[in-house]
Amino acid sequence: MVSRPRALKHVQVREYVRSLVEGAEPGSPAPSERELVTRFGVARMTVRQAMDALVSEGLLERMPGKGTFVAHARRRPDRPVGFTEEMMRRGLQPESQTLLTRLEQAGPGVARALDITAGDSVFHWRRIRRADGAPVCVQDAFLNEVLLPGFLEKAMPTSLYGALTKRALQPTWAEDSITADLATDTEAELLEVEPGTPVLRVARRAKCHDVVVEVSRATYRADRFTMFVQVGHEE
């Protein structure tokens, strides 16, 4: 007789919370992280991963300083969101530290992704992205100078997508390529982990209708970021 494998711990927590909140009144409080840690005997990060999944599904919503509650309506993303909005949606406080801003010539790969010619001018913006003060990823964004004249002449914005929206360039479509890898020495230092620690590499190409407005490469700490992908739609 073959025994059935036990579900991963975060899946057990997720499905337990789902059973409690599905059908509950919008605005009803969800179980606290402390309560779930005690009940299941798991790490707080495991509980956070389970709750993040339900927030991303639109079943729960976080209110900073208040807690996590049954969402008033299922929210299905109808457009790409950047790091700032994604972290706020998860109930975390996003922060950014700029490491590099410069105008440079696009290499063949960046040029192809941006639909421009190799050697054309692009803005290169490198940042450490944090959530609740903890480093989550290192991100390099490449932007077509023609679309963003004067971008480096003012203080860098808190949110790239917010800045694009102000210029009527809000992304309407994005494609992400996700790869599992190990942190290099430089990445490990910036992300405050040991070299060789597992990371997720996410390459994004975002468009505003037919115009490519962003190409980025980000390296995420695998222990602090879970990516959720919804396929299809509910009946």
**pLDDT 10s digit of each residue in the chain, 235 long?**
444 444 578 889 989 999 988 888 888 999 999 999 999 999 988 888 888 888 877 788 888 778 888 887 655 556 888 999 888 877 788 999 999 999 999 999 999 999 999 999 999 999 999 998 999 999 999 999 999 998 988 889 989 999 999 999 999 999 999 999 999 999 999 999 999 999 999 999 999 999 999 999 999 998 888 776 666 555 5
* Residue 181 in tokens: 């890898």
What is the CATH code of the structural domain delimited by 9-70?
Answer: 1.10.10.10
Contact 20, 31 (CB under 8 A): yes
* Residue 180 in tokens: 């599992």
For tokens 């962003």, what's the residue?
Answer: 214
CA dihedral 147, 149, 155, 156 (to 10 degrees): 20
Residues of the chain with CATH 1.10.10.10: 9-70
For the domain made up of 83-221, give the CATH fold.
Answer: Chorismate lyase (3.40.1410)
Q: Could you tell me which residues come within 8 angstroms of residue 85 by beta carbon, excluding any fewer than 6 positions away?
A: 159, 161
Q: Could you tell me which residues come within 8 angstroms of residue 155 by beta carbon, excluding any fewer than 6 positions away?
A: none
> What is this structure's pTM?
0.73
